[in-house]
Structure 1
Amino acid sequence: MGGVLRAEPLWVEAFTGLRMDRFAELVRVVREREGNGPGGGRPWCLPLPDRVLLVAVHYRTNLTMRQFAPLFGISCATVCRIIQRLRPLLALEPAPRPVADIDRLWIVDGTLIPVRDRSLAASSRNYRFSANVQIIIDADSRLVIASARPAPGNKADAHVWRESDLPAASAGTTVIADGAYLGTGLIVPHRKRAGRPLLRGQEEDNAEHRRVRARAEHTFARMKNWKILRDCRQKGNGLHHAVQAVATMHNLAQTG
């Protein structure tokens, strides 16, 4: 049985949120990471662009593998193999980092992503079993710089930050965060204390801080257009790979 979806402009733009030239760049990245695999084995039943489209649509729509099989004219097992093979190859490449630019500003923020894998998730304040995912974005370009491995959703943001590799990735760069990151060395808002109201200058600082920090929240909102980040059914490294792949596609869409 033949499939419906193919790596053509109509389907790519409708189902991935990427223009065809940006999707072609995604295929190039996967090909350079040996997405076709070593020679000599059994050939794939779909060309590489169609396989990349399958993974991208999987992340965009969060359809099940049983639903994907007739769309691409392949078996459920083949859908599973394609996703397992390609999802690590869509990992985020760090955005270009300027050298000795002291005015560069990065923002870190976290969000809760519902996930079915109970070994990764925990009952969280969104009343679901979720994982805490943190990313760093560039305040000017809105590109995702790095993402941390998911942590149980009941862990505090500051704790997840300290245990992740994000502090090393942001060394030497000015990073701002919200009040949940107090005590981490990041730039956070001035705290209100009982009986000690904030000064006018501190209120103004906090207002500017909120205005800039909102860019990270907007980035998370755009990333969650890929519905895999609204309810992740994958186990093990599946959520981490999904966040990395979505960050890659978000960056491609932003630079397009």
Structure 2
Amino acid sequence: MRKNTSLAEGTEGLVYQCRLPLSSATLDLVSGLVRAHLKKIRSRWRKLPPGRIALIVLAVLRHDQRLSDMAGGNGVSASTVRRWLLEVIGLLAAQAPRLDRALKKIARKGGVVVLLDGTLVRTRRRAGNENRANYSGKHKAHGLLFLALTDERGNLVWISAARPGRSSEITTARHNRITTRLREAGLGALADLGFVGLDDDPDAPVIVTGRRATRGHPLTDAQKEANRLVSRERAANEHGFADLKNWRILTKVRMNARHATTLLRALLVLTNAEVHR
């Protein structure tokens, strides 16, 4: 059977357009990083100018555009767009703050508490021995676990490295030494019931969670009211995750899992450039 590869009459050179709901400041930020990087490595030329490269990468991140679609519309190859994507998210991730510096910055501004929570970023199902590692029994899906800290208004300040989806939030928090970092900065944190037992100093806790009922010990009215108070104060944390997941590339991460940490930290920088409460 012969395959017809000819274009319909009048469609030569047509490319569909879509709106990119990002500020010009975000585009300037990314294009400025690309321009500085090219100057640093003394690159003589690229197929497209830094502004166009930034626009293509932002479209992939925001709308989860396929690389081949963006490549065909801009006269480059899909491998070139992939290289630009990895290059730009690496430049952005380098701007993300470290945990200790982020906490000290909040303390200098007079903050007293941060909000701690975890989220699962879904990924493709992996084959072989790595299949079960990324399967989360809690969410019944394959993904990578990330912890995040926000300030009291819901602005993201830090994101952890990726952990397999089967990891628990409390184990991931211990791996990142969050309790120690909070004490060093003189801050406290509000967290959900998934972090009960994380603080190893019950006499002077820095992580405040609700109370969990057991079969033989139901919660009292005072404990229920305390749980509602913690939940109300933690609501801003959900806004931070919602802002982060507006980047549709996180709907299902298709890139290699080793790039997921770099991707999330790059999106943290872009989210903070777009949203500041």
**Shared fold per TM-score greater than 0.5:** yes
RMSD: 2.8
Structure 1 residues 44 and 4: alpha-carbon distance in aligned structure 2, compared to 1, 3 A threshold? farther
> What are the equivalent positions in structure 2 for 1:216-255 lying under 5 Å apart?
216-255=237-276
User: What corresponds to 1:182 in structure 2?
Assistant: 196
Q: Per-residue CA shift, 1:150-200, capped at 9, x if unaligned? A: 111111110011112645554421111111111212211122233433333
User: What corresponds to 1:136 in structure 2?
Assistant: 149
The runs of 4+ residues in structure 1 deviating greater than 4 Å are 1-5, 165-169
How many pairs are equivalent? 245
> What are the equivalent positions in structure 2 for 1:40-119 lying under 5 Å apart?
40-91=42-93, 92-94=95-97, 96-99=105-108, 101=110, 103-116=111-124, 118=126, 119=130
The higher radius of gyration belongs to: 2
Matched AA of 1:158: I
Do residues 126 (structure 1) and 139 (structure 2) align?
Answer: yes
Structure 2 unpaired stretches of 5+: 1-11, 200-206
Q: Percentage identity across aligned positions?
A: 24
1:131 and 1:195 map into 2 onto residues whose CA distance is 35
Name the TM-score, length of structure 2 as normaliser. Answer: 0.77
Please state whether the residue corresponding to 1:129 is helix, strand or coil: strand
2:158 and 2:216 map into 1 onto residues whose CA distance is 39
2:65 and 2:109 map into 1 onto residues whose CA distance is 44
Aligned 8 A contact 1:134 1:148 in 2: yes
Moved more, 38-47 or 115-124: 115-124
Structure 1 unpaired stretches of 5+: none
1:212 and 1:240 map into 2 onto residues whose CA distance is 28
Do residues 194 (structure 1) and 252 (structure 2) align?
Answer: no
1:234 and 1:219 map into 2 onto residues whose CA distance is 23
User: What corresponds to 2:204 in structure 1?
Assistant: none
1:76 and 1:100 map into 2 onto residues whose CA distance is 45
Structure 1 residues 144 and 238: alpha-carbon distance in aligned structure 2, compared to 1, 3 A threshold? same
Aligned 8 A contact 2:210 2:227 in 1: yes
Name the TM-score, length of structure 1 as normaliser. Answer: 0.83
1:222 and 1:245 map into 2 onto residues whose CA distance is 13
